[in-house]
Each structure stands twice: as structure tokens, then as C-alpha cells.
A = this chain, B = another copy of it.
């Protein structure tokens, strides 16, 4: 058990504790969501939100909601790293534009349906 330089309690640290160079306690708040084999996942969240904020945000949530919170933070962090100016707000704008286009197309199609149906009404 001396291979990784530890004499005892040699539990492999999670990705967060590894990056933060701290002991990964059995009740580590990060460990269930940031496994050691996905280091980039925590690195991005840490870069955007900061480990201490992520820790605080998770601690404030019940256990059963933490997985979803981590997923949404990872999504936001990745978006912010990809697009440092707009982050995932860029995706929101683009989706809203798509909705505008679809609503216009739907209005046009529905108006045409009404118009075509009118032509079938017998005089």
C-alpha cells in the first residue's frame, strides 16, 4: 500500500480532493459526483464557480438534489469555458430565437389552414 506514498487509509481521492490536494474524507461532499477518472469535470466547475462555492451550494441542498445540481453546474461551467462572454446564456438566447422562428412559422401554417378550409365551405 506504499505505492501511492500513503501508509494507511490509502483510499483513492476523488477528482476534487486530488485537484485541491487535500485528504478525501469518507464523507467528502464532492466524492459521489466527481470520480477520480473524470478530472476535467471538477476542474471546469472549480475554474468557474470555485471549489468553496460549489461545496457551499451542495451543502445547502438535500442529498437527493445534489446530483442534479452538480450536473447543471458542470453544464454551466463547460458552457462558460467554451464561451467566456455569454456562457450558457448564449444557449438561452439562441433557443429563444428558435422559438420566435417556430412561432412565426406556426402562425403562417395555421393561417393557411384556415384559408384553405374556408375554400371548402359550401356557399
Contacts and interface: CB of A to CB of B under 8 A. Distances in A.
Contact of A76 (B69, B76, B99): B76
Interface residues of A, number: 43
Interface in A74-123: 75-76, 80, 84-92, 95-96, 98-99, 102-103, 105-106, 109-110, 112-113, 116-117, 119-120
Contacts of A8: none
Contacts of A3: none
A83 B98 CA distance: 24
24 contacts: A47-B53, A48-B49, A48-B53, A48-B57, A49-B50, A50-B53, A57-B84, A61-B84, A61-B85, A68-B85, A69-B84, A69-B85, A69-B86, A72-B89, A76-B87, A76-B88, A76-B89, A88-B88, A95-B95, A106-B109, A109-B110, A113-B116, A116-B117, A116-B120
